[in-house]
Structure 1
Amino acid sequence: MLTRTLLCILAIGLFSLAVHAQAPAVGSDQLVLDEDTGISLRPGFDAELIYEVPKSQGSWVAMAFDPKGRLIVSDQDDKGVFRVTLPTATSRSVKVESLPGFPYEPIPWGKRTVGGALGFLYAFDSLYMSNMRGFYRIRDTDGDDEFDEFTLLKKLNVGYEHSAHSIIQTADGKGLYLVSGNFTRTPAGTASVQPPVWLEDSLIPSIPDPMGHAVGLKPPGGWICRISPDGADWKMIASRFRNSVDIALNREGELFTYDSDMEFDVGCPWYRPTRINHVTSGSEFGWRSGSGVWLDYFADSNGSVLDIGPGSPTAISFGHHSNFPAEFQDKLFICDWTFGTIFTVEMKESGSTYTGTKAEFLHGSPLNVAAMRFGPDGAMYFLTGGRTTASRLYRVRYTGSAKPAVVRTPPAPNELRALRHSLEKLHVRAEPGDEVIATAWPHLSHADRNIRYAARIAIECQDVSLWREKVFAESNPRAVIYSGIALCRHGDKSLSRRLLDKLGEVPFAILEKEDRLALLRAYALCFMRMDKPAGEQASAVIARLDAHYPSADDTVNAELWNAELCRVLAALDAPTVVKKTIELMKSTRAETVSYDKTMLERHEYGAAILKMMANTPNARNIHYANSLSRVRSGWTIEARKYYFGWLNEALEKDGGKSFAGYIRAIRTNAIAHLETAEVDLLGGLLSDFPTFDLSKLPKARGPGQEWTVEKAMKLSEPDLRGRNFENGKRMFSAGFCIVCHRVGGEGGHSGPDLGSLSSRYSIRDILVAIVEPSASISEQYMARTVKLKKGDPLSGRLIYRNEKEIGVASNPFDLNQITKAPADDVQSIEFSNISMMPSGLILGMNRDELMDLMAYLLSGGNPQHKAFAKD
């Protein structure tokens, strides 16, 4: 049988330089290479390529099984919906039918026309579908095996790739769950289990993403709704995700999702890796735009079950849907698009929630997994595809030796989980609500974090007048903290002084570790939601907390206490916070980042992260610097010089695409709070950061050509071996690629990192992106068109938007050049279909220069790549 490498060569010519990763040797978990597909997977399993999707059928990203065991799939763009009859023991053929009539409302996205389904589920004798514009119920009403009724149940707000995604059935079998990314606002008419009092709640004012991503998006961010089968009742049960694509229920009926990171923020203290979240009633997971992301330990949020690391989460499913061996039945299978990996996560009960450990189940290169489900036959089926990339349908079956049947022993009753469930039933407004408050209140001091959370939400659902005075009568320190957090979210600002006095009764020194963090969060929420103290009360709060800063305890918990003490004391302009924090900055060292090196080494994209790990920024000091940026009291010239010198040195570290921009923003905020005399004394430390001088970049020798995609594709006829690495690198600069993109850790940050191109995209895809940059634009890099009430519209990257003004960078080669307009002059803001990347950047290159550039891109900046071999 042809190997996958040979199939790729036949499909896209000798231009293909994709290589298979070697399976890591990790004892009994060692993966085995499947020669037929090029996929490395666990021993005893077999991978099979079922169907290679032709370009005419698009790039598939959604899938579900119908009652007859057939797959319903959809192209992401405009090629439509298909039904796939899978091969059987008696027939090896695959039948693919195009299904007519499916709702399609095109959305222009560069030169793409997007609008395909992003999620399917067959339930209640219906096929449910989500796309960027709506949630639909689709039925075959006359039994002829053809869908003929297409009903829009709810209009959805467009969120591009961060739109509504997967649909599953609820644990009780009476409803549906739908998960959505943070770009799609909750639909009109949606009720909420959470009291809808969402705010940014960032004590340090949030810095908008310097790359312009998600600027202006407000809470609640990504959400999960429970929906009745007829689509009439919608209730949001959880929120503040970034872009969870799928959801899954374990055997106990507990809900989980796999949420994405913000890869631009790698190296920053607010960066959170991709993670598994246990979705409980009313849970909030802290996504905010820019630097305002809540940290997992914030008491008014929920933490993760397991942090996975960098990646792009897609599909998830529990193994009890499979016929895999017993050891896999209770594991959660999770798929990563970027690194072409499927992991298993083993859950372990931890109080009323879970902790998890991960292991690789399979990986390939490229293997951009877009969707996955277990079929009626118990095998795993998954699709690769998305963003017009090549799409394939695979099947994974267990073919190892038969293992003795294991009858699963139901876990012992979890009393803590049962208690949490009983509190979650109270997440409704009761009349008058006294009984709910009486039931939930004692559990504000429970030792289990999720139980405390469930109790607080139950109380917050009731009229604040019923429980406001209970806060001030409470004597248990933990209950004071958590009821105080609730009161901050619902109480009147006039209560600020009373609440601060009450929090002052809580003895910081004798609190347990997580209660110290919760107390500091309560102070922060009071400052933000009610009022910041002044005069004698401010001095009293400062004296109360300053005595514990910095902590003498040499533990991770002490580092977190110091971080939050700094945040609160800086907000109060405490007299000693500068001196103490500068001393901390001098002694704090960058923390080792523990990402999965084995996985990162598999792809060029991972090499850039590995470089960051070798030149790790001091994230803790970035937090301290950000906290001090608005402090006016307690500075000396020596402290100022150290502070700005440290920020300048921080720019020499490696991080995500927005990393340097965030450091600049912190620096700009600090400069704005300087006195005039300080500006004169600090001199060169305040000079602007350098940008690329386009006039000094090398130029192509030429003669150039009118390169088109087809003309450039003809270069695939010869092999790319023997290319010139240095010339390819030079062309990366000559074509201005280096100004906006990074390869091998070198280059700008305003465009995508190109280090992983060969692992995810074909040569044609890469050439289309260069020659026709508007053909397909990731939502992370889309420009905006800002229409003004007066004057010409602004077009470019939306850098920031606040109550006073809006800032747009129109020059793709220098995002520091910002055009501003008053906020009240803005008429509308829309995504632009035109890429900020200019076309024609390779027109001056001759044949060899273009081939060397392509080899350089495919190599990820690796001079040892086989494209540069001389043989």
Structure 2
Amino acid sequence: MLSLSLWGSHAQAQSDATLPGGGQATTVESITLADGFRAQLLRSARKNEGSWISMTFDESGRVILGRDKRGVVRLTLDTDRVGVEKFEVIENTLKHCRGVLYAHHSVYVCATNSQGLFRLRDTNGDDRFDSMQQLKHMDYRSRYGHGSNQVVLGPDEMLYVVNGNDVGLPEGVAADSPYRDPQDDHLLPEPRDAVEEVRVGRILRTDPEGKHWEVIAGGFRNQFDVAFNTDGEMFTYDADMEWDVGAPWYRPTRLNHVVPGGEYGWRWGTGKWPAYFADSLPTTLDTGLGSPTAMDFGTRSQFPPRFRASLFMGDWQHGRILRVEMTPRGASYECQYDVFLEGGALNVCDLTFGPDGAMYFITGGRGSQSGLYRVTYEGPAVAPQTLSKEQADRVQQAASARQLRKRLETLGRGSDPSALEFAWTHLDSPDRWLRFAARVAVERMAPALWRARALSEKRPRASIAALLALARLGRAEDQSKLLASLDLLPLEALEREQLLDAFRVWALCFVRQGRPSAEDRKRVLAKLDPLYPHASDYANRELCRLLIYLEAPNVVPRSIELIRNAAAQEDAIFHAQVLARVAEGWTPKTRAAFFDALLVARTYRGGKLLTSTLDNIREDAVATLTDAEKEQLKPRLEKLAKKTQVAFELPQAPIVNQWTWEELSAELPRVSHDRSWKQGRAALVKATCIRCHRFGERGTFAGPDLTSVGRRFDDRALLESILLPSKTIDEKYRVHSYMLESGKVVTGRAVSVGATSITLQPDPLRAETVQVLREQIELSSPSAVSPMPSGLVDVLTKEEILDLVAYLKSGGDPGAAVFRPRFESESRGK
């Protein structure tokens, strides 16, 4: 029996418009806040009001909300701002309004599924929006929500539009944008990662009329929002790919300091750049697994000084708002965070600060129950912190560094010798952010102006930065001279960061300018081969790439030793992946050791894609074997070919009852107390949920991870997803059927949607995929039936079902309130 629920990090539940009996947003008693703060629930979305996913305030202090399915609404708060006195729909055609902004006497809407940025205006002063104009078409090519997200007003009164990685580059964007022409730039690309174009998230800027467009920065996955601090610095909160956990290319959910021309290194599949690549900028703060949504600084709040200086960020997956403190360091910042507020079923979609200085946030998304909340500070007055002279000096030094970086970012194309000289000076900066800005400034000038200088630069740090620019923009005929300059670097004397930067220059030189001549190859090998293996794991990764590319002798046995001795599974997987397609240089001993390492790798833990990653490595390695080697390795290959068995038994339980919503929904109040943790845990297995889902350390990854589902969805939504799985189907897991010109029908879940083809996964329990060319598709239709069958809980008793809902709600915590007696739960909740 296939069990594919649509909750987890990609969950959907019904809005209160379709939930039987309507819905109620999470009560404030279920929310834990920082000391001195108080939350109020101002409005639970009522029947037909939809699920809310974005918000802004207009000039009259009214709340404007973008809806999940369709339309924009406006809420007028009462005089005391403790409730809503008027609800009205102001637009009802735009689909999936992930961003709303009131500015310039207009409402701007990023409507993902309407594929564009729209402007609503009241042209006759009657308080109704009678004009709608599409300012820009956004080519959104997916169903997974990585589309046009928020639109934000910058300190320059311009509009900043936040596009996820499934939106193509819009037409009419300035060719001289600060960020342009991103490349994958992989020395040893994984063929399975091949896409028709480089898919990256971007941040764009336009004027209020939407006439002039430019790309400010890129290389994101699905950053939802941006926020500006008092110094005008921009930040965004980017999503991880949780299926990559355990792999060397996994990048946690991250806060990025966004600068003009900034490259942040997200690429498709296994090709995500490590944070140390010199042609990218690093993460400012990692926050682990999560689903980033809204962000805003507390600058306009009535909070204490420490909180007014903080950045607040929503995490939809874990039902919380994080608070980030920033400390200026060089031309950027160092950050730390804590949890400002959190609660059960608190799927935060957006937050902002109102005209009264309170924080307002909304819950909702993916059709779930929405609520509008207000957070105020009611603790004792707090005096501003006084900086010591040393602290004040550091703040001033950092401010000067940021001003210098901003000046570098303004340098444009041209032949001004003074501009080139100014930028060149800072190629030698020890501050990575200044060095990056200086290199980007140099690259905006014609290479003919600086090519010779780059080749003759003697300062190691400046030489590496200059040669990086030449590797990116130079001609093929520059390669031999560029490699000769790299050969002069004193690698043994370089700091680790400089060494990694130098390795990146060699790699880019080959990626963009082609394979070196035999003489140049020999010279590079003489320089790099003695360094491998290195004391640094990251240096070993880059040396391994380079030496395999250059077909260095004896790279295989040295890499096998690194796999054997790897302290982290990520290092072992990295070296195995790049070795897998190497056909030469093996011995029977190293072949056996490689496949033995793959057998060990079956014990690795990680995200949904880890198993398929290891399968791909095995397939690539087997493809390089001779017939004689296959015969010699036959016992190992047979073991590897066997699918890993699930480590738990799924009993064939008898049917107890064909349960209905009417029978069980009335019992939902009993989920809040006196439930059985042990019985709920057992029900997860008995109903075969963990055949497809992950919960804690148990289960598989065919469907979403359910571990934190209780943080996002309430009891009613959880029960409905169990009983009525086809009522709402998450587009990430919906099955589609495609009739081809040949008459053949192909059915499966779309795992990749490109401009010319669609990749389908016919069976969610198997890694195999099928590619369908768009030009061959005659007809396509989505299935109205969920991959998760109904009736899975018919093998459970009523009490077991309630225990299962409680277990999901608790995240598996045996000490949760749902497992305590009623009166004890109530007293602790007060």
**TM-score range, shorter-chain basis?**
0.7 to 0.9
CA offsets 1:173-215 (integer angstroms, 9 cap, x no match): 3x11111211122222122524633221222323758xxxxx8
Counterpart pick for 1:496 among 472, 479, 484: 479
* 2:93 maps to 1:104: yes
Distance 1:499 1:805 in 2: 39
Distance 1:97 1:725 in 2: 41
How many Å apart are 1:866 and its aligned residue?
Answer: 7.4
Distance 1:367 1:870 in 2: 24
Cα 1:185/1:836, change in 2 over 3 Å = farther
How many Å apart are 1:326 and its aligned residue?
Answer: 1.4
Mapping 1:346-365, distance limit 5 Å: 346-365=325-344
Which 5+ residue runs of structure 2 have no aligned equivalent? 1-17, 823-830
> Counterpart of 1:94 in structure 2: which amino acid?
V
Partner of 1:645: 596
Partner of 2:249: 270
Distance 1:398 1:722 in 2: 35
The question of whether the paired residues in 1 share the 8 Å contact of 2:222 and 2:238 is answered with: yes
Q: Secondary structure at the match of 2:97?
A: coil
Distance 2:258 2:366 in 1: 29
Distance 2:648 2:600 in 1: 26
Partner of 1:204: 188
> Counterpart of 1:635 in structure 2: which amino acid?
W
Cα 1:695/1:319, change in 2 over 3 Å = closer
Distance 2:469 2:778 in 1: 36
The question of whether the paired residues in 2 share the 8 Å contact of 1:571 and 1:631 is answered with: no
The question of whether the paired residues in 2 share the 8 Å contact of 1:207 and 1:292 is answered with: no
> Counterpart of 1:68 in structure 2: which amino acid?
S
* 2:222 maps to 1:243: yes
Q: Secondary structure at the match of 1:138?
A: strand
How many Å apart are 1:725 and its aligned residue?
Answer: 7.2
Partner of 2:33: 41
> Counterpart of 1:753 in structure 2: which amino acid?
D
The question of whether the paired residues in 1 share the 8 Å contact of 2:53 and 2:365 is answered with: yes
TM-score (norm 2): 0.87
Distance 1:539 1:391 in 2: 64
Partner of 1:171: 155
CA offsets 1:569-627 (integer angstroms, 9 cap, x no match): 1222322222222222233323xxxxxxxxxxxxxxxxxxxxxxxxxxx2121112122
Counterpart pick for 1:77 among 69, 85, 88: 69
How many Å apart are 1:252 and its aligned residue?
Answer: 0.8
How many Å apart are 1:801 and its aligned residue?
Answer: 9.0
Cα 1:521/1:833, change in 2 over 3 Å = farther
Q: Secondary structure at the match of 1:678?
A: helix
Partner of 1:28: none
Distance 2:186 2:268 in 1: 11
CA offsets 1:706-740 (integer angstroms, 9 cap, x no match): x5544553554866978787776676556553332
How many Å apart are 1:376 and its aligned residue?
Answer: 0.9
Partner of 2:825: none
Cα 1:859/1:692, change in 2 over 3 Å = farther
Partner of 1:454: 437
Cα 1:97/1:493, change in 2 over 3 Å = same
Partner of 1:684: 635
Which 5+ residue runs of structure 1 have no aligned equivalent? 1-10, 21-34, 106-114, 210-214, 591-617
Distance 1:632 1:456 in 2: 38
Mapping 1:371-410, distance limit 5 Å: 371-404=350-383
Partner of 1:296: 275
How many Å apart are 1:804 and its aligned residue?
Answer: 13
* 2:140 maps to 1:152: no
How many Å apart are 1:846 and its aligned residue?
Answer: 6.1
Partner of 2:454: 471
Distance 2:699 2:291 in 1: 23
How many Å apart are 1:533 and its aligned residue?
Answer: 2.9
Partner of 2:14: none
* 2:692 maps to 1:737: no
Distance 1:633 1:858 in 2: 54
Distance 1:468 1:400 in 2: 61
The question of whether the paired residues in 2 share the 8 Å contact of 1:647 and 1:667 is answered with: yes
Counterpart pick for 1:118 among 98, 101, 115: 98
Mapping 1:251-262, distance limit 5 Å: 251-262=230-241
Between 1 and 2, higher relative CO (CA 8 Å, sep ≥ 6) is seen in: 2
How many Å apart are 1:565 and its aligned residue?
Answer: 1.3
Distance 2:357 2:498 in 1: 46
Q: Secondary structure at the match of 2:204?
A: strand
How many Å apart are 1:650 and its aligned residue?
Answer: 1.8
Quick check: 676-685 or 515-524, which moved more?
A: 676-685
CA offsets 1:15-70 (integer angstroms, 9 cap, x no match): x999x9xxxxxxxxxxxxxx953222222221222222224212211111111111
How many Å apart are 1:229 and its aligned residue?
Answer: 0.8
Partner of 2:787: 837
* 2:54 maps to 1:62: yes
Counterpart pick for 1:747 among 699, 702, 707: 699
* 2:194 maps to 1:181: no
Partner of 2:119: 137
CA offsets 1:481-511 (integer angstroms, 9 cap, x no match): 2233223333333433333233222221122
How many Å apart are 1:287 and its aligned residue?
Answer: 0.7
Distance 1:359 1:733 in 2: 35
How many Å apart are 1:476 and its aligned residue?
Answer: 3.1
Cα 1:647/1:753, change in 2 over 3 Å = same
* 2:463 maps to 1:480: yes
Identity of aligned residues (%): 38
How many Å apart are 1:224 and its aligned residue?
Answer: 0.7
Counterpart pick for 1:540 among 519, 523, 533: 523
How many Å apart are 1:352 and its aligned residue?
Answer: 1.1
Q: Secondary structure at the match of 1:232?
A: coil
* 2:688 maps to 1:698: no
How many Å apart are 1:675 and its aligned residue?
Answer: 2.6
> Counterpart of 1:507 in structure 2: which amino acid?
P
The question of whether the paired residues in 1 share the 8 Å contact of 2:40 and 2:82 is answered with: no
Mapping 1:16-31, distance limit 5 Å: none
Distance 2:819 2:744 in 1: 49
Q: Secondary structure at the match of 2:145?
A: helix
Q: Secondary structure at the match of 1:524?
A: helix
- RMSD across aligned positions (CA): 3.6
Q: Secondary structure at the match of 2:622?
A: helix
> Counterpart of 1:134 in structure 2: which amino acid?
G
Q: Secondary structure at the match of 1:295?
A: coil
Distance 1:841 1:397 in 2: 45
How many Å apart are 1:471 and its aligned residue?
Answer: 3.1
* 2:337 maps to 1:369: no
Partner of 2:3: none
* 2:258 maps to 1:279: yes
Mapping 1:300-311, distance limit 5 Å: 300-311=279-290
How many Å apart are 1:785 and its aligned residue?
Answer: 5.5
Quick check: 786-795 or 297-306, which moved more?
A: 786-795
The question of whether the paired residues in 2 share the 8 Å contact of 1:218 and 1:288 is answered with: no
Partner of 1:675: 626
Mapping 1:507-656, distance limit 5 Å: 507-533=490-516, 535-551=518-534, 553=535, 558-590=536-568, 618-656=569-607
The question of whether the paired residues in 1 share the 8 Å contact of 2:737 and 2:783 is answered with: no
Cα 1:800/1:336, change in 2 over 3 Å = closer
Distance 1:863 1:731 in 2: 15
> Counterpart of 2:790 in structure 1: which amino acid?
G
The question of whether the paired residues in 2 share the 8 Å contact of 1:135 and 1:155 is answered with: yes
Distance 2:670 2:227 in 1: 48
Cα 1:525/1:773, change in 2 over 3 Å = farther
Distance 1:825 1:176 in 2: 37
Cα 1:468/1:587, change in 2 over 3 Å = same
The question of whether the paired residues in 2 share the 8 Å contact of 1:771 and 1:839 is answered with: no
Cα 1:347/1:455, change in 2 over 3 Å = same
The question of whether the paired residues in 2 share the 8 Å contact of 1:262 and 1:271 is answered with: yes
Cα 1:377/1:715, change in 2 over 3 Å = closer
How many Å apart are 1:324 and its aligned residue?
Answer: 1.1
